[in-house]
Amino acid sequence: MIIKEEERIYKKPKISIFWNFLIYGSTIAIGILLIWIYSAYIFINK
């Protein structure tokens, strides 16, 4: 019941969508960057 109340108070759709986009976008960008650095590192060391 307490969780439901907090959810009702917390629900602000635009802000949550913005934060989800920011978090997912940053994690995907970091993942791509790490893969790119790793592949470049392998390519240089060949």
What residue segments make up the domains of the chain, in order of their start?
A: 11-45
pLDDT reported for residue 16: 76
Query: How far is residue 11's CA from residue 9's CA, in Å, rounded to a whole number?
Result: 6
**1-46: pLDDT as tens digits:** 556 666 666 666 667 778 888 999 999 999 999 999 999 999 998 7
Question: What pLDDT score does 3 carry?
Answer: 60
The pLDDT value recorded for residue 20 is: 86
Q: Report the 3 state secondary structure along the chain.
A: CHHHHHHHHHCCHHHHHHHHHHHHHHHHHHHHHHHHHHHHHHHHHC
